[in-house]
Amino acid sequence: MPRGEQPDCAVMRFSLGLPTDRVDAPDEFVTAAAIAEMAAAADAAGFEGGYVTDHPAPDQQWLATGGHHALAPLIALAFASAAAPRLKLQTHIFVLPYRNPFLSAKGVRTLQQLSGGQVSFGVAAGYLRSEFNTLGVDFDERNDLLDEAIDVCRAAWTEEVVAVEGRHFRSRGTTMAPRPGTLPPIWIGGNSRQAMRRAVARGDGWVPFPNPRAAAKALKPPPLETVDDLAVRIGELRALADAAGRAAPLDVCFAPFAFNQFGTGAYEVPALTDEIGAMAAAGVTWLTVGFHRAQSRAEWCDWVATFGRDIVRAG
């Protein structure tokens, strides 16, 4: 698609956040029946994917200042897949450095096998130092551990025998079966230039996140608070790909600015539709949407159905 052309919303693919963090209302959101109902609602509304987040060991101080729990991502996605087998299963994101890469590879491979090849594996280095400490992982090694883990996962999925000397493990000849018929795409999370280079070198997609300028003063990643900001960064991503001689396209997954995912879920259809068209023209291929303030599963499903009618299926 030529840069600057404005496609309609049907060009964009949508992924819906499954609220596996809502431990404040467990009967509504984090039971097997709840995940099944919500995954089916996402599929019925036209969402192509469903995503979950990853926090295996958050500490109390972080939770008290806005942090959250989350169900184990691969297990939650397996329950979603059983109820909605057409739904793409996405980790958004999975902190690979927390885990031995062979364990991660086996878990993702198992989910890929049982779902019929529906997994998109979104990964990142992680940012929560306290969680690294709890899990016994060196926070300062996280980027090296992430690169190593991505390479080991790919090798475990594609090679007959994997022999590798890792930073904290040694494989003298590991095998993993069955081998996947379709490899899970690996999407790299993060706004930094390092994350962009990692996406070009090791990934199949890039997953940046909105970052207001006020927050950017305290955080190293550059601000991302407008579509123009995003278009500039996607241009930089393409330049990095060109410089590296990469020919394969990269998916870009982002969240709309015109939809307050952590508020009431209200939106103006014309403004959101226009923004989605502009994002698609800039190179975004997937949009993530969440309804984090629903008070019940019924309300959540109603909001999902309305958004599906207004936006997802409106093109």
111 close to 143: Cβ distance less than 8 angstroms: no
Residue 44 CB neighbour total at 10 angstroms: 13
What's the one-letter identity of residue 77? L
Q: Mean pLDDT across the chain, nearest whole number? A: 92
pLDDT, average across residues 279-286? 96
Residue 32 CB neighbour total at 10 angstroms: 11
The percentage of residues in the chain with a pLDDT greater than 70, rounded to a whole number, is 93
pLDDT, average across residues 149-162? 96
Q: In the structure, what pLDDT confidence band is assigned to residue 2 with cuts at 50, 70 and 90?
A: very low
Question: For helices 297-307 and 32-44, what crossing angle results, to 10°?
Answer: 20
Q: Which of 88-92, 124-128, 167-171, 265-269 has the lowest mean pLDDT?
A: 265-269
More confident position, 1 or 126:
126
Return the ∠ at Cα 131 (arms to 126 and 134), rounded to 5°. 140
pLDDT, average across residues 231-237? 96
How confident is the model at residue 233, as a pLDDT? 95
Select from 71, 69, 124 the least CA-distant residue to 95: 124
pLDDT(215) > 60 = no
- Taking the C-alpha atoms of residue 49 and residue 14, their distance in angstroms, rounded to an integer, is 6
pLDDT, average across residues 137-150? 98
More confident position, 25 or 180:
25
As given in the structure block, the two tokens for residue 10 are 């049907």
How confident is the model at residue 239, as a pLDDT? 97
pTM of the model: 0.92
Q: In the structure, what pLDDT confidence band is assigned to residue 1 with cuts at 50, 70 and 90?
A: very low
pLDDT(6) > 70 = no
